[in-house]
Amino acid sequence: MQWAVADPYRGVERAQLVVVNIRDDAERSLGESLLAEVARLRKDDAVFADVMGPRGSRVPITAVVANLTRPTDPGTKKALARILRTVRASE
């Protein structure tokens, strides 16, 4: 068995931020389940080697479930703070 990422998701191995966008709080548990799969992908050595390959990095990423339509949502705030830190660091 070999794991792979679908073509539309190429480049995920370089992601520093993962945001699961939800529309309301009823979807939050599903979003958290998806983030658990992202964490598994990064922690399982066999999956990591197949999917990420030599370009993958184990640098910690920010992963949040957020309702991006609500500026007060904690996940939205965390994602925006991460983006702001990255932009400031690259200036």
Sequence letter at residue 70: R
Q: What is the DSSP letter of 63?
A: E
Has residue 79 been placed in a domain?
yes
What is the phi-psi region of residue 67: left when phi exceeds 0, alpha when psi lies from -120 to 50, beta otherwise?
A: beta
Has residue 80 been placed in a domain?
yes
pLDDT reported for residue 62: 87
Has residue 43 been placed in a domain?
yes
pLDDT reported for residue 13: 67
Q: How many domains does the chain have?
A: 1
25: domain range? 16-90
Has residue 81 been placed in a domain?
yes
Has residue 84 been placed in a domain?
yes
What is the tens place of the pLDDT at every residue in 14-29? 778 889 999 998 999 9
Has residue 31 been placed in a domain?
yes
Instruction: Examine the pLDDT at 86 and tell me if it is beyond 70.
Output: yes
- Torsion angle in degrees (nearest 10) through CA of 36, 22, 78, 29: -40
What is the tens place of the pLDDT at every residue in 41-51? 777 777 777 77
What is the tens place of the pLDDT at every residue in 40-76? 777 777 777 777 677 666 677 889 999 999 999 999 9
Has residue 5 been placed in a domain?
no
